[in-house]
Amino acid sequence: MTTASASERSGWEPVIGLEVHCELRTATKMFCGCRNAFGDEPNTNVCPVCLGLPGSLPVLNRRAVEYAMRIGLALHCQVQPSIFHRKNYFYPDMPKDYQVSQYDEPINVQGFLQLPDGSTVRIERAHMEEDTGKTTHVGGGGRIHEAGHSLVDYNRAGVPLVEIVSAPDLRSSAQARLYAAELRAILVASGASDGRMEEGSMRVDANVSVRPARSDTLGTRCEIKNLNSLRSLGRAIDFEIDRQIALLQAGERVVQQTRHWDEGEGRTVALRSKEEAFDYRYFPEPDLVPVAPDEAWQRQVAEALGPMPAERRQQLARRFGQQGPDSARADQIATVVELDLDPLVHAAADAGVDVSLALARTANEAAADAEAARRVDRDAYRALLQLEQRGSLSATQAKTVLGELLASGGDPAEIARRLGFEALGEDSLAGVVGEVIAANPAEWERYCGGEDKLAGFFTGKVMKATGGKANGKLVAAELQRRRAGS
Ligand code: ADP
Ligand code: MG
Ligand code: ZN
């Protein structure tokens, strides 16, 4: 990550506001019946409406409005009557030459989002609009000015979007990343969007300015486009903060601009000077009526909304009693909630599995293949953890069985048998422990003399002798039993 030295940055405060576009998970587009799908053959999901042919008329997708409300409610916004405007500009990926968007009367206003670090970011608005098509510049480095020609795919034109605009409340790249990650988790939890940055279904623009520390007026901002991962978001903001500080320290000024993040070069470059609202000649869309969800509909949407990530983290944390989870476990909780795997942990813990064990296996092993883990049979998952907890499987064995379970499903006990993970019976375990003690008499004497840390030495030897099949807890118990009796 680019960082100015502390001395260069001190005396300046970065100010960041994010604009996040997310595609809604509707089956069809916003104003027509074309399929809303990522990755289809180009220009196969198109019709006169989304191609903007003369005489075609839009019909608003009710489900898109419902999803927009879900997002607004999840972000504690006020849901209000709204209207659509035409935002006029010419670009080849937008066949109508205008984008239908909400301008001064958006559906959701004045919400907030609470970050895991305890800070609150205000949400100014979360409005509906339609997506554009997608242009691919062919030849050169893929940028428009280097390209030999350009291809355009209108499958994405008219896909419903919600744009979530934060207040300029963020103060560092790390906080901006935290916000984007939390927002993504909320979008996924609401069911309104899949939040996939790599597929472009969540796209982030970052507005960045700097000002003298302790100033309370905002500096001139630049808006950075093309941030398609949390990593790019963080790097681009850091680069931009440094660039602006360097300008101001040299006595120059920041010009308000739209800038492009060049991932390869690791820098932002000027795209165009910032457009003003009047450039777009906004006017109310004459072919659509206002959207005014009534109380009953809003209530229905609110009631169907499950708990959001912050609450789900708390629900898991509560299982750790009064003192709560330590910081490592708090991180694990954040991971499983973000991946929508917390139901697995609850199911196992409800069945009597130690919550720390369930959390660890879920955050460390199951999380590595979250997609499979979300589909795994909960009873099988719980049964596997019980085998480990009871000592029928060692930790290493349990992880191997879990890998199998995620890859191909099945009954954990049967998978364990197939893999030859017969639990080492207590008799044979005792025998191996006896042999290991006999082979290491000096260490045994020291252990009996009170050098507890040698337990690890003996456990290691037993594990080696059994090829990892021994259960660590049972070995420890056997060692203690023998020491007490010696
Ligand atoms: P526009 O309509 O030109 O996009 P907005 O006023 O709606 O401008 O702001 C867009 C985004 O820019 C918001 O996320 C807001 O928080 C952020 N923003 C506005 N002013 C600043 C500033 N001086 N520094 C950083 N971010 C800013
Ligand atoms: Mg904007
Ligand atoms: Zn269409």
Work out the average pLDDT over 24-37.
97
Kindly indicate the confidence band of residue 239, based on its pLDDT and cuts at 50, 70 and 90: very high
DSSP assignment of 187-228: HHHHTS----GGGTSEEEEEEEEEEETT--S----EEEEEE-
Give the pLDDT band of residue 147 (cuts 50, 70, 90): confident
pLDDT exceeds 60 at position 58: yes
Q: Which residues contact 139 (CB under 8 A, 6 or more apart)?
A: 146, 147, 148, 149
Confidence at residue 2, expressed as pLDDT on a 0 to 100 scale: 45
For residue 8, pLDDT over 90 is answered with no
- 3-state class (DSSP) for residue 12: strand
* 98 has pLDDT over 60: yes
Nearest residue to 148 via CA among 160, 137, 136: 137
Spacing, Cα 71 to ligand 3 middle (Å): 24
pLDDT (average), residues 43-66: 96
Q: Please state the rounded mean pLDDT for residues 69-83.
A: 97
Q: Which ligand is nearest to the CA of 275?
A: 1
**Residues near ligand 1 with C-beta < 6 Å?**
15-19, 165-168, 207-209, 218-219, 221
CA distance 338 to 436: 45
395's tokens = 């930790």
Is the predicted pLDDT of residue 57 greater than 70, yes or no? Answer: yes
Range in 117-131, 213-227, 295-309, 453-467 with the lowest mean pLDDT? 453-467
- What protein residues have CB closer than 5 angstroms to ion ligand 3? 32, 34, 47, 49-50
Mean pLDDT across the chain, nearest whole number? 91
Instruction: Kindly state the average pLDDT of the residues 115-136.
Output: 93
Q: Where on the phi/psi map is residue 334: left (φ > 0), alpha (ψ -120 to 50), or beta?
A: alpha
Q: What is the pLDDT of residues 369-427, one digit of tens each?
A: 988 999 999 999 999 999 998 888 888 889 999 999 999 999 999 999 888 886 666 66
Ligand 1 atom closest to the Cα of residue 275 is 3
Question: What pLDDT sits at residue 473?
Answer: 80
Region 26-49: mean pLDDT is 96
Buried b / exposed e over 152-177, threshold 16 CB at 10 Å, is bbbbbbbbbbbbbbbebbbeebebbb
- What ligand has the least distance to the C-alpha of 158? 3
**Residue 389 token pair:** 């907890």
At residue 30 the predicted structure's pLDDT band, cuts being 50, 70 and 90, is very high
Q: Which of 112, 121, 183, 207 to mutate to test the pocket of ligand 1 (most atoms within 8 A of CB)?
A: 207
462 Cα distance to chain centroid: 42
pLDDT digits (tens, 9 = 90+) for 241-255: 999 999 999 999 999
Q: DSSP string of 407-474?
A: HH---HHHHHHHTT-PPPPHHHHHHHHHHHHHH-HHHHHHHHTT-TTHHHHHHHHHHHHHTT-S-HHH
Bridge partner residues of 344 (DSSP): none
How do 108-114 and 120-130 pair as beta strands? Answer: antiparallel
pLDDT at 7: 54
Q: Identify the pLDDT of residue 260.
A: 93
| Confidence label for 440 from pLDDT (cuts 50, 70 and 90) | very high
* pLDDT confidence tier of residue 198, bands split at 50, 70 and 90: confident
Most confident region among 108-117, 202-211, 388-397 by mean pLDDT = 202-211
Q: From the CA of 197, how far away is ligand 1's center (Å)? A: 22
- Residues 297-351 have pLDDT tens digits of 999 999 999 999 999 999 999 999 988 899 899 999 989 998 889 999 999 999 9
CA angle centred on 383, ends 382 and 389, rounded to 5°: 90
pLDDT at 184 over 90: yes
pTM score of the predicted model: 0.80
How high is the pLDDT of residue 427?
67
Identify the pLDDT of residue 113: 96
pLDDT on residue 291: 95
C-alpha of residue 99 to centroid of ligand 1, in Å: 20
pLDDT > 90 in the chain, percent: 71
